[in-house]
Chain A
Amino acid sequence: MAIHERLSGNEAIALCLKQINPDVMCAFPITPSTEIPQYFSNYVSDGLVDTEFVAVESEHSAMSGCIGAEAAGARCVTATSSCGLALMWEMLYVAASMRLPITLACVNRALSGPININNDHSDSMGARDSGWIQIYAENNQEAYDHMCCAMRIGENPEVMLPVMICQDGFITSHAIENIELLEDDVVKKYVGEYKPEQYLLKHENPVAAGPYDIQPYYMEHKYQQAVAMKQSYDVIRKVFKEFGEISGRSYDLIEEYRMEDAETAIVIIGSSAGTAKAAIDEMRSEGRKAGLVKIRVFRPFPAEDIAKALSGCKAVAVMDKADSFNAQTGPVYAETCAALFGKENAPKMINYIYGLGGRDVSTGTIKEVFAALDEIVTTGVTGETYRHIGVRGL
């Protein structure tokens, strides 16, 4: 029986973690993710979980603590945003290379500077090559559901990679919306116990974790990571499917919205996908064949799925809530283009950098993008591919 509630994204994540009851949480507060460890530490104080809560002195220490605890055999979680994630940077790579399935609740916020507390994806997009699985939520419901799935994905023996569960700062994290929750025992049973084969506290067989890796061995270990990421495609699909069986909400690596006969489409991540769906509904009612591909899982990158979804389109805009400052593209556009490279009948493609630092994205913003796509279809001219929307003076 689903439990109907109204929760913010942060409340939903904290509650999910309470239901999971992990062994260790190491965390340091930073807006807008602060509420997650704040609520969770209340659960610890109230004896509702038996998690060891470690109030560390920085995010570097938070991730280091998670690495130590996870290597010791504990299921470990943390939460952060923006500069906090940046301060974890070094340790993100260590966590992934040590194959430690730590779970991180990332509440996306602009990475300074200029200093700004509001939402974009520059923090987690910057960490996209750290070897973490990244799953992005459109709303509080998805944030909760993804968190329910995170550990089954990361801890799968074919994967053994850390997982970042991302949601948009403030837009999702601080907005109260309806949500359907699962019962505590259902979540607990679904997530299961963490049972690593080897760990530091296995007293009958002490091990060493994270050793120095010299030239004859390093590349083999990095290749193992690459294989794990490839293998995670099927594991994620399987976990999402099984989650659908207990919740009635099934997910896939991407979500296609009104793509069946779409001539123009956007590729987008996170909360703005919801806004775009409403804009597309309005355009559809005017007879325009507009559609949307939402990237739920960005790491591993669902290249095949995206290429297939966009194959019938004439023009596509890829929306990036982060800039790469390569003077060419944002990260999502670059990877989407790579996914379509060499494919027959590939659509014309443009890139929009949008919504930086909390710049609001309305249905009007999305319609402007589709207007530009319509012009490309009409004129046959793609023009500048590296575009920004919502900037005054353009």
Chain B
Amino acid sequence: MNNMIEIRWHGRGGQGAKTAALLLADAAFVVGKYVQGFPEYGPERMGAPITAYNRISDERCSVHSNIYYPDYVAVVDESLLESVDVSKGLKEEGAIVINSCKEPEELRPMLKGYKGRIYTIDAAGISKAILGKSFPNTPMLAAMVKITGVIEEQAFIDQMQKSYEHKFAHKPQVIDGNMQVLRRSMEEVKG
């Protein structure tokens, strides 16, 4: 299918990788894309490795399987590099975005011969600095939007502002912090 982007998310139960995938689908929908956002469900356990997926394209996608040859991979927890083959099937012309304070090339040896682009973002650090707690999925979402280019950046920011205003209607004080996290993450993702 033309213009279809397939994304695979790796995270740990409770970190919000599934939520990030659904938020990305949401944002892409608002700018007029056809979207799929779905997690691979198993026994839900806090901390266990989980996978979630996105398909985003200009026409409806009828495929309802997991994604084996993703264009992009997001790794919400750096420690997964040791236990999960996160770059499996990842297209060489694609990219992987990892939540880490390390330099991208430092992580290459852990990616089983993957030759494509690597990006890192200190998602935990940014989240802690601005929100006081580690919510790595918000910075990861922003980094993925930046790297994949699946949504125009300003359109994404505008949509997230609206989404947070709705989601945090009962505690508006957290909206600005989250918006700051998104903007800073887009600036600081490096590759």
Contacts and interface: CB of A to CB of B under 8 A. Distances in A.
Query: Do A and B make up one complex?
Result: yes
Interface of A: 6, 32, 117-118, 138-139, 168, 170-172, 174-178, 271-272, 274-275, 277-278, 358, 360-365
A125 B64 CA distance: 21
Interface string B29-73: 100001111110111000000000000000011111110100000
B97 interface: no
B122 interface: no
Contact of B60 (A170, A171, A178, A275): A178
Given A174-B39, A174-B41, A275 B22 contact: no
B26 interface: yes
Contacts of A174: 38-39, 41
Contacts of A118: 41-42
B36 A177 contact: yes
B17 interface: no
A358 B51 CA distance: 14
A275 B65 contact: yes
A28 B7 CA distance: 35
Contacts of B1: 278
A362 B68 contact: yes
B25 interface: yes
A6 B68 contact: no
Contacts of B60: 177-178
User: Per DSSP, are chain B's interface residues mostly helix, strand or loop, or mixed?
Assistant: loop
Interface in B67-88: 68
Given A174-B38, A174-B41, A176-B38, A6 B64 contact: no
Contacts of A361: 64-65
Nearest to B37: A176
A339 B42 CA distance: 38
Chain B interface size band reads 20 to 34
Contacts of A32: 41
Contacts of B63: 274-275, 278, 362-363
> Which 8 residue pairs across A and B have the least CB separation, nearest first?
A274-B62, A175-B38, A362-B65, A6-B29, A176-B37, A271-B64, A278-B63, A176-B25
A176 B37 CA distance: 5
Contacts of A358: 41
A170 B65 contact: no
Contact of B64 (A117, A139, A178, A364): A139
B55 to A, nearest CB: 9
A178 B34 contact: yes
Nearest to A118: B41
Contacts of B42: 117-118
User: Max chain A CB contacts within 10 Å: which of B26, B63, B66?
Assistant: B63
A32 B44 CA distance: 13
Contact of A176 (B35, B65, B66): B35
A175 B36 contact: yes
Contacts of B36: 175-177
B26 A275 contact: no
B29 A175 contact: no
A171 B68 contact: no
19 contacts: A6-B35, A32-B41, A117-B42, A118-B41, A170-B38, A174-B38, A175-B37, A176-B29, A176-B35, A176-B37, A177-B35, A177-B36, A177-B60, A178-B60, A271-B64, A275-B63, A277-B62, A278-B61, A358-B41
